[in-house]
């Protein structure tokens, strides 16, 4: 039986695809388990430098949790293999994650996308939090992320009305990095992956870890904190390669070591 997730490696890029089109790529417990396995493998593989999350073409990128099969074995809805922190411990991916989204990005699917570092949206993408419009409200993770990723009143407008946010507006508000035609979505995600791979992989990971950790602090605390990943980068082969390449006026050749 298919897990509803396609996971493959393409050089230094890990590609994770939601593949449950009959349910608008909604995430069921089997998919949730497969996503967690993918994130775990991506973080453990030093030859993977960046991950891309997309979905099977169709009407929706992701409709959130697939409620048609009920809840998972703990009585909770599955959602994102831990990236959202809903239904289990929060998983923070060490490697940079690019989300390439199209069509409807609904509820928990919207929440999963906001866990990415870079978001590329097709021009047909629409983001929305429909719970109150349907007369329901459950896990509140989507609310807390939305009000942190969008201007306060924009987020509250979406949360309290269930209105849709089209891709162009999402770009205007800084929610997404780029909006492209549907046909160009894969190429745009690959372009971002290529740009990230041009940088030192361990430095990228250290920068991500320090940035996200510092968000939970005051600026003064963040500036006064030493970050283990940055400290550990000192003396690595890639740091030495960066110094040598600069001195020799050539492009560095990274190894992720």
pLDDT tens digits, residue range 24-78? 999 999 999 999 999 999 999 999 999 999 999 999 999 998 877 555 545 555 6
User: With contact defined as beta carbons under 8 Å apart, do 114 and 154 qualify?
Assistant: no
Predicted pLDDT at 31: 94
What token pair was written down for 78?
């599955």
Q: Which of 131, 209, 220, 241 is catalytic?
A: 131
Beta carbons within 10 angstroms of residue 40's beta carbon: 14
Q: Kindly report the three-state secondary structure assignment for every residue of 159-192.
A: HHHCCEEEHHHHHHCCCCCEEECHHHHHHHHHHH
User: With contact defined as beta carbons under 8 Å apart, do 31 and 3 qualify?
Assistant: yes
Q: Taking all residues of the chain, what is their mean pLDDT, rounded to a whole number?
A: 93
Nearest to 251 by CA among 190, 200, 191: 200
Q: How confident is the model over 163-169, as a mean pLDDT?
A: 97
What token pair was written down for 154?
């924009």
6 is an active site residue: no
Digit-coded pLDDT (tens) for 202-253: 999 999 999 999 998 999 999 999 999 999 999 999 999 999 999 999 999 9
Nearest to 174 by CA among 164, 165, 185, 183: 165
Q: From the centroid of its chain, how far is CA 41?
A: 16
Residue ranges with strand state E in 31-163: 50-55, 60-62, 97-101, 104-106, 118-122, 126-128
131 is an active site residue: yes
What token pair was written down for 220?
């003064």
Among the residue ranges 6-15, 47-56, 82-91, 213-222, the one predicted with the least confidence is 82-91
Q: What does pTM read for this prediction? A: 0.94
Predicted pLDDT at 1: 45
User: With contact defined as beta carbons under 8 Å apart, do 42 and 93 qualify?
Assistant: yes
Q: Degrees (nearest 5) of the Cα angle 29, 63, 126? A: 155
Beginning with the edge strand found earlier in the chain, give each strand of the sheet holding 97-101 in spatial order: 5-10, 13-18, 50-55, 97-101, 118-122, 178-180
Q: How confident is the model over 181-191, as a mean pLDDT?
A: 98
């Amino acid at each position: 039986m298919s897990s509803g997730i396609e996971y493959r490696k393409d050089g230094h890029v890990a590609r994770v695809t939601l593949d449950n089109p009959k349910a608008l790529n909604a995430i069921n417990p089997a998919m949730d388990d497969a996503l967690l396995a993918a994130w775990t493998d991506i973080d453990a593989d030093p030859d993977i430098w960046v991950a891309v999350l997309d979905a099977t073409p169709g009407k929706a990128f992701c409709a959130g949790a697939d409620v048609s099969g009920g809840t998972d074995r703990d009585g909770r809805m599955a959602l994102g293999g831990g990236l959202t922190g809903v239904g289990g411990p929060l998983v923070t991916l060490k490697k940079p994650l690019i989300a390439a989204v199209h069509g409807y990005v609904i509820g928990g699917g919207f929440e999963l996308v906001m866990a990415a570092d870079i978001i590329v949206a097709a021009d047909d993408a629409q983001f929305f939090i429909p719970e109150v419009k349907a007369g329901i409200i459950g896990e509140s993770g989507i609310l807390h992320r939305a009000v942190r990723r969008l201007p306060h009143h924009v987020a509250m407008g979406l949360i309290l009305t269930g209105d849709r946010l089209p891709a162009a507006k999402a770009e205007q508000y800084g929610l997404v990095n780029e909006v492209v035609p549907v046909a160009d979505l894969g190429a745009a995600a690959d372009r971002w992956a290529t740009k990230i791979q041009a940088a030192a992989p361990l430095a990228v990971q250290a920068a991500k870890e320090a940035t996200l950790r510092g968000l939970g602090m005051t600026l003064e605390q963040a500036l006064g904190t030493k970050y283990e990943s940055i400290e550990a980068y000192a003396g690595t082969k890639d740091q030495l390669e960066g110094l040598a390449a600069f001195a020799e006026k050539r492009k560095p050749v990274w190894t992720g070591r």
